[in-house]
Amino acid sequence: MTAQYIMVVDDEPDIRQLVGEILEDEGYRVVVAENAIKARELHRSRKPDLILLDIWMPGQDGISLLKEWRESESLCCPVIMMSGHGTIETAVEATKLGAYDFIEKPLSMAKMLLTISNALRVSQLEQENRGLRKQVTTSPDPVGSSQVMQRLREQAKRIAQHDPRVLLYGEPGVGKESFARYIHSRSARKDRPFVRAALSVGSNAGAIVGKLLFGAEDNGKVQYGLLDEANGGVLYLAEIFELDGDTQVRLLNALKERRFMRSGGNEWVDLDVSLMASSTHDLQDDVVGGKFNEELYYLLNVVPLMIPPLRDHPEDVPELLNHYVDVLTAQDGLPYRHISLSAQNFLRNHTWHGNIRELRNLVQRLLILGTETEVSLEEVEESIGPRIPVFSEALGKIPESLFEMPLRQAREQFEHDYLIYQLKQADGNVSKLADQVKMERTHLYRKMRSLNVDPKKYGLR
């Protein structure tokens, strides 16, 4: 299931058979091609992890094929050239065209295996480095010693043993991706890619997202998508409710049939991914509102994992504060500052509407703007700003006159009671509420959290 995928291209049947059998004995998955035409076909059908490519073949030779892949930007993995008539000039030319290495025939199997192992390791390190550059703030393990976090990590470890589809729920900033990466790091796919796809609000035009996920083919040129990149590993779809209806159906069919077709293509690509997805709200609400495919929901919802907001485990705040001080000083070169005990205790009682992301941003702000070695309580209070009042839980408890309030508080008190009224009219259904108040659902959920409006109290399941 997690074996690395190697393509062997050689016109000699004995070499194809021998090399293929040896690599399979070593635990690799192998496909073979006898010429450039077959190699091109296999290359389109699935993104390989490594290619062994013979130079001298009838028809198109290996150097020309390598050059073709490079010029079409399809050189997606390490290529090791093979030849029984090699020269230094040929090896240099192959390297300039992007080949990882050059080995001579007759093949030394020990040298071949070592070269393959080194090439795959370099490729994996490059992928990890790209991931680290994109996710420099991602902790290898979710941080926190509370019972809540300990229980979640134990659940994640059990999930990792079985490779199911996972649906992670939680407010923005709670660390859903951190738990997805934690599951991946403890699964049988830990040495395979973890590919993250974020679907931004307002940019989810079907054609764009379809090409991003499924890739595309145009006049023989292959543009690999995220499913290609994640094949054999994990695909993490952040905020999956942003997928348009057509893309939901394509994803559903790909998961059911374990294969997909690129946009503009006419050949199936085998699919072997472990899919994880996240959402800031219950997808059942979207199913009821007709905005999410019901069959896809049940296909994804094998193992739901709820990541609680930071306010539900405030005892982890001091550990998180110190963790991000260490991360930001080490990675961003910010000056080290100690957060005083009184400041830490104050922050334990902060509401943290932005959760762990808000905490990290606060630490970064304190390290950048502060001048003293210690972060004081007064500095933290000034950085956070005045607290927004906790609103009443029901209608009829607002002050006699909103005109007696500061403008911001009066506006938010009205919005609070307005949303409760509209929720009751919608029988607690947030999709209906969004239609009634003419707000996009993601913004609406954010607004309700900031105003302490819990839709579950007003009719939601």
- The mean pLDDT value for 145-168 works out to 94
Q: State the number of CA atoms in the 13 A half-sphere of 99 facing the CB.
A: 25
Name the DSSP class of 438. T
Domain contains 335: yes
> Are 199 and 267 members of one domain?
yes
Domain contains 154: no
> Are 59 and 102 members of one domain?
yes
> Are 352 and 422 members of one domain?
no
Q: What is the 3-state secondary structure (H, E, C) of 208-271?
A: HHHHHHHCEEECCEEECCHHHHHCCCEEEEECHHHCCHHHHHHHHHHHHHCEEECECCCCEEEC
Domain contains 429: yes
> Are 326 and 295 members of one domain?
no
Q: 98: domain CATH number?
A: 3.40.50.2300
Angle at 164 between CA 161 and CA 167, to 5 degrees: 120
> Could you tell me the pTM of the whole model?
0.65
User: Considering 260, 290, 306, which residue would you say is the last residue of a domain?
Assistant: 306
- What confidence score (pLDDT) does residue 342 get? 92
Domain contains 185: yes
Residue 127 to residue 131: CA distance in whole angstroms: 6
Query: In 117-205, at which residue ranges do the beta strands (DSSP E only) sit?
Result: 166-169, 194-198
**Percent of the chain scoring above 90 in pLDDT:** 43
- What confidence score (pLDDT) does residue 293 get? 95
Domain contains 444: yes
> Are 357 and 245 members of one domain?
no
Phi/psi of residue 211, each to 5°?
-70, -40
| Collapsed DSSP state (helix, strand, coil) of residue 55 | coil
- pLDDT tens-digit series, residues 88-117: 677 777 888 888 888 888 888 888 999 999
> Are 9 and 129 members of one domain?
yes
> Are 181 and 297 members of one domain?
yes
Which residues span the domain enclosing 249?
Answer: 161-306
Name the DSSP class of 136. T
In the predicted structure, residue 392 carries a pLDDT above the cut 60: no
Structure tokens belonging to residue 8: 């062997």
Q: Is-contact 442 434, C-beta < 8 A?
A: no
Return the sign of the alpha-carbon dihedral for residues 118, 121, 126, 132: negative
Question: pLDDT-based confidence at 395, cuts 50/70/90?
Answer: very low
> Are 281 and 176 members of one domain?
yes
Number of residues assigned to the chain: 461
Angle at 305 between CA 301 and CA 309, to 5 degrees: 135
- What confidence score (pLDDT) does residue 303 get? 92
| Collapsed DSSP state (helix, strand, coil) of residue 175 | coil
Phi/psi of residue 337, each to 5°?
-140, 140
Q: State the number of CA atoms in the 13 A half-sphere of 284 facing the CB.
A: 8
Domain contains 193: yes
Residue 136 to residue 129: CA distance in whole angstroms: 10
Residue 197: how many CB atoms within 10 A of its CB? 20
Question: pLDDT-based confidence at 201, cuts 50/70/90?
Answer: very low
Residue 414 to residue 391: CA distance in whole angstroms: 10
Pick left, alpha or beta for residue 186 (phi over 0 → left; psi -120 to 50 → alpha; otherwise beta): alpha
Among 190-199, 354-363, 388-397, the minimum mean pLDDT is found in 388-397
In the predicted structure, residue 442 carries a pLDDT above the cut 80: no
Q: Is-contact 75 99, C-beta < 8 A?
A: no
Structure tokens belonging to residue 42: 């296999």
Q: 234: domain CATH number?
A: 3.40.50.300
> Are 166 and 296 members of one domain?
yes
Query: In 245-337, at which residue ranges do the beta strands (DSSP E only) sit?
Result: 259-261, 268-270, 274-279, 303-306
> Are 112 and 198 members of one domain?
no
Mean pLDDT over the full length of the chain: 85
- The mean pLDDT value for 203-215 works out to 71
Domain count, the chain: 4
- What confidence score (pLDDT) does residue 237 get? 94
- The mean pLDDT value for 129-151 works out to 71
For residue 461, CA distances in Å to 348, 373, 423, 427, 441 come to 31, 50, 13, 10, 18
> Are 89 and 194 members of one domain?
no
User: Considering 384, 412, 438, which residue would you say is the last residue of a domain?
Assistant: 384
Question: pLDDT-based confidence at 167, cuts 50/70/90?
Answer: very high
CB < 8 Å & 24+ apart, contacts of 329-332: 329/367, 331/136, 331/137, 332/364
